[in-house]
Each structure stands twice: as structure tokens, then as C-alpha cells.
Amino acid sequence: LAADEVEINVLYCGICHSDISMIDNDWELSSYPLVAGHEVVGEIAQLGSSVNGFTVGQKVGLGWLSDFCEQCDECHTGDENLCADLTGTIVGHHGGFADKVRANANSVIALPEGIDLKTAGPLLCGGITVFNPLVQFGIKPTDKVAVIGIGGLGHMALQFLNAWGCEITAFTSESKKQEALDMGAHYAINSRDEAELSSLSGKFDLILSTVNVKLDWNLYLSKLKPRGRLVFVGATLDPLDVMVPNLIEGQKTISGSDTGSINTISRMLKFAQQHNIQPIIEVLPFDKINDGITKLRSGNVRYRVVLEK
């Protein structure tokens, strides 16, 4: 164990689509053998000799980050998730589909007292993925926000945005409309209903896309207010087909976001606890991990899979 590392006994670990992307080398970042798992909840087993601020037995979390340089401009300004030399928990590093995982203490997150450990794991990746844009792009409680896709990310986005105070519209399938309303959306629109879509032009301050499929992005840009923003948190691999005049007219913006800083993750966890925001999960024992991966691949999960020791 390195002097600046923490060893964690894994209690729970979520299965995320990013794990499958790494298993399949979709992003051409993978090296094998690969141990995935980056939504880790556990307790500290050992502390490196120079680690302060943690205690053995303490409940902690580990998300996408396992180390960062602490020297670059991004690290110095509290944006260590943008560090060019960061270590991803499952990128050239063994992740949480294991009994134990190690990480630099700078990336280990103390969990709030009393948080539900079973549901905390998905917050460390999916939760921060949808929370970070609210912080980074200055989303206000008076803003009108749309969420594309009500799945593993989108169902958490609805809960966070509702607690944030925003008016929320969910773009989803007909079969999920009532579920979206139950999870915090004020309006639910069938994304295949052209008549419903046509009534929404110029309505939204923010559109958050949580899907990984190609859509008519020019159509969604037309739904933004002037200076509105389309933010991608779902990693579609298809090139964007966007007419530049659709951005110029109205000074609209397209952005992306993945995880957040350690400080923002801590804030997100406290916010989630204060507002009783919990991912909807299916729990499986660790020895059923392959079943969980198969289920996630099939798209039949409502809405996150969590492995339990």
C-alpha cells in the first residue's frame, strides 16, 4: 500500500454503462485483464502512512476518479475531474468488482452519516453526472429544463432537478410517461409525438441529453430559449449533425459533462440526502455479476444494478 493510498473493503458496487463500454473497449481506453466497477461503497481497511482525515472502518465511496496530479491548473482550481493526468478507477487501474480496491486518498469520498449505502453507489457516477451541469452552468430554480431519456441517468436527473426547483419536462416513451411524472417531472412528452414536440419551440433554458443514441439534434436545439444550452451527459458515439445557424441564431450552446470534482461529489451526496434523492436499483449478490451485466446490456433494468457482498 503506497503512503498516499487507501484500501477499501468493497460492500456494494454499482454496474454502470461505462463499465460495459470499458469491458467492450468502446472508447479504445481498455487494457486487459480489466477489473471494472467505479460506483464503490465500502469501508476503509488500511490507510497509507501519510494519509490523514480518514479512519479505519469509515464508510467511504469511490467514483470515476482514483487519483489526480494535484499540480495542474485544473487541480489547483478545484476541477480535478478535468486533470489531464487523472487516473480513472477502471482505466489502467483495477476497479470495484472485487473484494478490495485501492485509490489515492485524494479521490476517496467520506459518505454522509446515515446515507443509504445500497443506493449511494450509483450516485457516485450517475448522480454526479447529472448534478454537475446544474452547478457548472449556473442552473437556477426558475429555469425550465428538459431531460431526454428516462433511464439510468435520466431518472436521477428528474429527482435532482425537482429538488433544485426547476420546471421539468421529460422526453421519453409513451410507456414511461407516468413513471417520469412520478419521479419528479412536471410534464412528460412522448418524444415520437411530433404534434407535442412542435408546441415546445423556444421553451427551455437547458436540455439534458442522457441517451447514447443519435437523435435529431437540430429539432432539440429549436426547443431552447435564446442563450439556452444543450448538454450531453450520455455518450453517443455518433457524430453530431448540427446546422451551425441553429446555434448562431439565439446564441445557443452545446456542451458536454461527465463526472465532477471531489468537492462537487460531496455536495451532491449531501444534497441527495437532504432531499431524499435515491436511485431506483435492483440488487444482486456479487456472484451474480454476469447476470447483472447481461441485464444491463439488455436494457431491461429499472434503473441501476447494484452488487452486494
Q: For 182-215, how does the pLDDT look when each residue is reduced to its tens digit (9 = 90+)?
A: 999 999 999 888 888 888 999 999 999 999 999 9
Q: Across the strands, what pairs with 207?
A: 146, 230
Domain 128-256: assigned CATH number: 3.40.50.720
Q: Across the strands, what pairs with 60?
A: 42, 110
Q: What is the tens place of the pLDDT at every residue in 222-278?
A: 999 999 999 999 998 899 999 999 999 999 999 999 999 999 999 999 999 999 999
pTM: 0.96
Q: What is the tens place of the pLDDT at every residue in 29-79?
A: 999 999 999 999 999 999 999 999 999 999 999 999 999 999 999 999 999
Q: Across the strands, what pairs with 130?
A: none
Instruction: Judge whether 66 and 87 are in contact, CB under 8 Å.
Output: yes
- Rounded (10°) CA dihedral 157, 162, 164, 166: 100
Alpha carbons 266 and 3: distance in angstroms, whole number: 24
- HSE at residue 299, side-chain half, CA atoms within 13 A, is 4
Q: What is the tens place of the pLDDT at every residue in 88-137?
A: 999 999 999 999 999 999 999 999 999 999 999 999 999 999 999 999 99
Of 309, 152, 140, 293, residue with least CA distance to 228? 140
- First CA to last CA across the chain, in angstroms? 23
Instruction: Judge whether 10 and 289 are in contact, CB under 8 Å.
Output: no
Q: Which residues contact 114 (CB under 8 A, 6 or more apart)?
A: 273
By residue count, the chain amounts to 309
pLDDT at site 150: 95
pLDDT at site 237: 87
Please report, for residues 99, 102, 221, 239, the alpha-carbon distance to residue 161 in angstroms, rounded to integers and kept in the order given: 35, 33, 20, 28
Alpha carbons 66 and 137: distance in angstroms, whole number: 25
Instruction: Judge whether 272 and 297 are in contact, CB under 8 Å.
Output: no
Domain 5-111+279-308: assigned CATH number: 3.90.180.10
pLDDT at site 135: 98
Q: If you average pLDDT over every residue of the chain, what do you get?
A: 97
pLDDT at site 192: 84
pLDDT at site 193: 87
**Judging by DSSP bridges, how do beta strands 224-232 and 253-256 pair with one another?**
parallel
Q: Does 122 sit behind a cis peptide bond, omega within 30 degrees of 0 on the bond before it?
A: no
Q: Across the strands, what pairs with 170?
A: 147, 188
Domain ranges of the chain: 5-111+279-308, 128-256
Cβ-based burial of 192 (10 A; exposed 0-12, middle 13-18, buried ≥19): exposed
Classify residue 29 by its DSSP letter.
-
Whether residue 7 is predicted with pLDDT greater than 90 in this model: the reply is yes
Give mean pLDDT, residues 166-195. 94
Tell me whether domains 5-111+279-308 and 128-256 share a fold.
Answer: no
Classify residue 205 by its DSSP letter.
E
